[in-house]
């Protein structure tokens, strides 16, 4: 039975006392940080540094601040009320439940693509390490990726949040130590790094159009939109973050507080629930500080090592080129880089798969008051099976496409894409593997529309939801401070504008693929339509019962 409205609220988890104890709450943020480090920092921060130098840093800093504001706003709400944003979405204007259902559809379509991308990256790294990058014209990358994906799916079925947190904390700690040491050894231009935080114009260097026409085929806006989508994580990562907060019992109460009990919290500035709001602020601040730090390290590495050599991480060399960061110091460090890269990407793949499970479980839970652990376990198996199957199909499609022979001679631009990066040295172990008749790969192109949906546009939607939840469900004394409301409003506007511009500047990525300009828009319209229909069906079934 819920407590009466005048029953005093008792928090069940002791508050940390010292600063050190508060710092120990860092956990969910470590998971999200490790999720983005693999793809965001190790790949795209390096790529941004090679293409734009230190000038790209302001994008990473601004996006990290905006996404931090998103996380703090969503996290403080669940700490105060114990109610997940998905459950609040049931009351969002329109047919009851249409918004969480739309996000459910988006997740079951997009998360497997993210999983396939991460698996493909690990496969690309494996083929380079094993010297098999020439096998099947580069298609072996996807076979390796499928093998690693099978291993990770098995671990996800057997693991859970505790294992996930321990693994990701280890990865983040190890990478942070190595990154700091590497940066200090290279002694970058600290003044240039600091000035890179100041907003400025971005443009491709002249050499990129000659060596990497596949990159310049997309506008700078499209390239930057990729960074916005991957740096710091995406909307589903942050919604899973709030679920992990509940598992940590921050601000948890025996029962969801009534309006009267929320007033009690509002009137007591030292109420334990209010004090627990510090936990997600600290957790997210550490997480995004690490993300900015890693971004700076790899941007500097790209600007110092790769840019001057006119080479850029692309589909054929997503992690290979970064080995030069450590081999410039000593060849003996190459095994350390390989081990670190494998651990990072495996952690990213493992965490992304867990995110897919958490968000679907949370959406279903919001519709079902009788949800329990047995049902959650059965659903987890279904989601892992679905995500794994779709990801495997994506990898299979990429494999078949990569191993097919072109019916005609390749375009000159295709040959240039393959030869890019090989101009430094034919014997360079980091040069891209030749593919049959210069066939370009599509991992980054495949990720672009999905990243636009989940990492940019959906983040803007969550910021709007944060503002709505705050006004709709909290008394005035517990609402976000003005600066946080302003930050979420600004983030919502910028994410929508950046996403719209990135969508508008989209270009065809391949003759056999879809045009990225229309995929996100068509996908949003389709998902919104399906969610409205699904919401009406759910309403009819509920009324019938």
* Per-residue pLDDT reduced to its tens digit, 502-538: 777 765 444 444 455 566 677 778 888 888 888 888 7
pLDDT tens-digit series, residues 192-207: 778 877 877 888 998 9
Q: Mean per-residue pLDDT for 458-480?
A: 92
Span 87-121, pLDDT tens digits: 899 888 888 889 999 999 999 989 999 999 999 98
Contact 86, 111 (CB under 8 A): no
Beta bridge partners of 508: 515
Residue 515 φ/ψ, nearest 5 degrees:
-85, 120
Per the model's pLDDT, the better-predicted residue between 339 and 349 turns out to be 349
pLDDT of residue 3: 45
User: Can you give the pLDDT at residue 252?
Assistant: 59
Q: How far apart are CA 146 and CA 347, in angstroms?
A: 16
More confident residue, 439 or 328: 328
Most confidently predicted of 21-35, 61-75, 164-178, 491-505: 61-75
pLDDT value of position 272: 79
By C-alpha distance, which of 41, 42, 340, 300 is closest to 184?
300
Going by pLDDT thresholds of 50, 70 and 90, the confidence category of residue 22 is: low
Query: Distance (Å, rounded) from C-alpha 358 to C-alpha 78?
Result: 16
What SS3 class is residue 515? strand
Q: What is the chain's mean pLDDT, rounded?
A: 79
Of 313, 353, 350, the residue nearest 113 (C-alpha): 353
Q: What whole-number distance in Å separates Cα of residue 380 and Cα of residue 156? A: 9
pLDDT 10s digits, 130-145: 888 888 888 888 999 9
Residue 148 has pLDDT above 70, yes or no: yes
337 pLDDT higher than 70: yes
Distances (CA, A) of 86 to 77, 93, 358, 362, 394: 12, 14, 12, 7, 29
Report pLDDT digits (tens) over 382-428.
999 999 999 999 999 989 888 875 444 444 444 333 333 333 333 34
CA atoms lying within 13 Å on the CB side of residue 23? 4
Q: According to the model, what pLDDT value does residue 468 have?
A: 95
* Least confident stretch, 118-122, 178-182, 210-214, 240-244: 178-182
pLDDT at 462: 94
Segment 340-389, tens digit of pLDDT: 778 778 878 888 888 888 888 888 888 887 777 788 888 888 999 999 99
154/113 Cα distance (integer angstroms): 18
Poorest-confidence range of 169-183, 342-356, 449-463?
169-183
pLDDT of residue 329: 72
Whole-number pLDDT of residue 244: 82
What is the rounded CA–CA span in Å between residue 120 and residue 145?
Answer: 5
The answer to whether domain 22-403+411-420+432-544 has CATH 1.10.1740.10 is no
The pair of three-digit structure tokens given for residue 188, joined into one six-digit string? 């970058």
Alpha helices by DSSP H, listed for 217-333, are 220-230, 235-247, 259-267, 272-275, 278-301, 324-327
* Higher pLDDT pick, 480 / 410: 480
How much is the pLDDT for 544?
A: 59
What's the pLDDT band for 439 if we cut at 50, 70, 90?
Answer: low
Best CA proximity match to 61, nearest among 299, 396, 316, 333: 299
- On the question of pLDDT at 219 being above 90, the answer is no
Chain centre distance of CA 510:
25
* Rounded CA separation 316/143 (Å): 15
Residue ranges in 480-518 assigned as alpha helix (H)? 482-504
| pLDDT score of 325 more than 50 | yes
Under 8 Å CB-to-CB from 446, ≥6 apart: which residues? 113, 116, 117, 394, 398, 509, 513
Question: Which spans in 334-372 are helix H?
Answer: 334-367
If pLDDT is split at 50, 70 and 90, which confidence band does 434 have?
A: very low
Is the pLDDT at 539 greater than 90? The verdict is no
- Distance, CA of 409 to CA of 396 (rounded, Å): 24
Q: What is the pLDDT of residue 429?
A: 41
Mean pLDDT of 299-328: 83
């Amino acid at each position: 039975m819920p407590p009466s409205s005048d029953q005093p609220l008792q928090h069940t988890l002791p508050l940390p006392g010292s600063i050190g104890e508060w710092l120990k709450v860092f956990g969910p943020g470590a998971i999200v940080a490790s999720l983005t480090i693999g793809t965001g920092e190790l790949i795209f921060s390096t790529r941004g540094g090679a293409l734009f130098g230190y000038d790209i840093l302001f994008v990473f800093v601004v996006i990290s601040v905006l996404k931090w504001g998103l996380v703090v706003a969503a996290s403080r709400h669940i700490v105060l009320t114990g109610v997940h944003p998905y459950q609040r979405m049931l009351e969002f204007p329109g047919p009851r439940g249409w918004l969480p259902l739309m996000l459910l559809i988006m997740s079951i379509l997009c998360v497997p693509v993210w999983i396939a991308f991460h698996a493909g990256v690990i496969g690309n790294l494996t083929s380079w390490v094993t010297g098999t990058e020439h096998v099947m014209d580069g298609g072996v990358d996807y076979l390796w990726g499928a093998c690693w994906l099978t291993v990770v799916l098995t671990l996800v079925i057997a693991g859970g949040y505790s294992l996930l947190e321990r693994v990701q904390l280890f990865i983040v700690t190890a990478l942070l130590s190595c990154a700091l040491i590497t940066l200090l050894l290279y002694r970058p231009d600290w003044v240039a790094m600091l000035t890179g935080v100041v907003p400025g114009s971005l443009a491709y260097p002249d050499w990129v159009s000659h060596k990497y026409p596949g990159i310049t085929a997309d506008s700078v806006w499209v390239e930057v939109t990729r960074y916005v989508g991957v740096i710091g994580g995406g909307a589903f990562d942050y919604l899973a973050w709030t679920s992990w907060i509940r598992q940590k019992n921050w601000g948890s109460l025996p029962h969801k507080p009534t309006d009267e009990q929320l007033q009690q919290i509002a009137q007591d500035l030292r109420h334990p629930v209010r004090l627990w709001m510090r936990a997600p602020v600290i957790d997210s601040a550490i997480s995004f500080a690490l993300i900015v730090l890693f971004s700076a390290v790899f941007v500097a590495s790209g600007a110092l090592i790769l840019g001057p050599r006119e080479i850029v991480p692309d589909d054929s060399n997503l992690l290979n080129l970064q080995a030069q960061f450590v081999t410039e110091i000593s060849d003996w460090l190459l095994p350390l880089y390989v081990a670190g890269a494998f651990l990072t990407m495996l952690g990213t793949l493992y965490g992304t798969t867990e995110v897919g499970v958490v968000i679907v479980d949370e959406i279903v839970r919001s519709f079902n008051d009788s949800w329990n652990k047995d049902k959650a376990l059965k659903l987890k198996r279904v989601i892992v099976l679905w995500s794994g199957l779709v990801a495997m199909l994506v990898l299979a499609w990429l494999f078949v496409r990569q191993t097919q022979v072109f019916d005609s001679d390749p375009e000159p631009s295709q040959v240039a894409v393959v030869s890019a990066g090989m101009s430094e040295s034919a014997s360079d172990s980091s040069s891209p593997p030749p593919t049959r008749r210069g066939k370009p790969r599509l991992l980054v192109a495949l990720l672009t529309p999905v990243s636009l949906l989940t990492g940019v546009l959906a983040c803007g939607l969550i910021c709007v939801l944060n503002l709505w939840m705050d006004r709709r469900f909290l008394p005035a004394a517990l609402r976000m401070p003005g600066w946080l409301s302003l930050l979420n409003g600004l983030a919502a506007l910028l994410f929508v504008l950046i996403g719209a511009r990135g969508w508008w500047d989209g270009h065809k990525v391949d003759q056999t693929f879809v045009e990225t300009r229309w995929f996100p828009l068509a996908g949003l319209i389709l998902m919104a339509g399906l969610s409205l229909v699904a919401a009406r069906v759910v309403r009819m079934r509920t009324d019938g019962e």
